[in-house]
Chains A and B, each alone.
Chain A
């Protein structure tokens, strides 16, 4: 199975500051036919189901604010929130959809400092 490892486990950032969450896959999740990494980011607010934010490592889902961005370098992936808003408090998960079983990172809890 592909193991997804996120860091840090928790993060406290001041409002308006940048938040950065990392995710590393245990093997390549690059789909050769499309040359796209099969990596998604989800946001889960308390008491709610997850919501898709980013797919193909860096493509923002429709309706997601542009302060959210994704980047990639080999098997390392990053979710960046450029200017943290109060409504961004949540747990963030990365997930690979390159193969089954689909696997998630352990989650990163983002709080306001």
Chain B
């Protein structure tokens, strides 16, 4: 059974940093691209960042480019999102999602990031 378990969310002040993790199991992690998708409270879905199966290619939404860094450790079956210079607009539930030929076929339950002074 595919499982994606996000962690690392929390409450922090504007300008702060946070690293999210997504522990994957139930599939060969190194065979699949992965993404982070976020959802602000009461709002819709926003794709944030994606990474190829090998980790050699990364992609970002303009809203986070230069502030967020996606990475993965295939030996640990774990996906990461390093988030810097956070603002209130980054407040959201962050989901990690497994990609199957570019659509998101499995999602985690999400980890909540709240940026507030």
Residues of A within 8 A of B (CB): 1, 38, 40, 42, 44, 48-52, 55, 61, 91, 93, 95, 97, 100-107
Where chain B touches its partner, the secondary structure class is strand
Assuming A40-B104, A42-B104, A55-B103, is B45 touching A50 (CB within 8 A)? yes
Map CB proximity to A onto B14-52 as digits: 1 under 8 Å, 0 otherwise.
Answer: 000000000000000000000100000000111100100
Cβ of B103 and Cβ of A93 under 8 Å apart?
no
Contact of A101 among B44, B47, B110 (CB under 8 A): B47
- A50 to B107, Cβ gap below 8 A? yes
Partner of A103, one of B47, B95, B103: B47
Contact A49 B109, CB 8 Å, known A40-B104, A97-B102, A100-B50: yes
Residues of B bordering A, CB below 8 Å = 35, 44-47, 50, 59-62, 95, 102-105, 107-110
Which of B47, B108, B109: most chain A Cβ within 10 A? B47
Contact (A102, B44) CB under 8 Å given A52-B105, A97-B102: no
CA distance A106 to B45 in the complex (A): 8
Given the complex of chains A and B, what is the CA–CA distance between A106 and B59 in angstroms? 22
Instruction: Let me know if B103 and A49 touch, CB within 8 A.
Output: no
A76 to B60, CA, bound (A): 26
Evaluate contact between A104 and B44: CB separation under 8 angstroms. Answer: yes
Q: Do A101 and B62 have beta carbons less than 8 Å apart?
A: yes
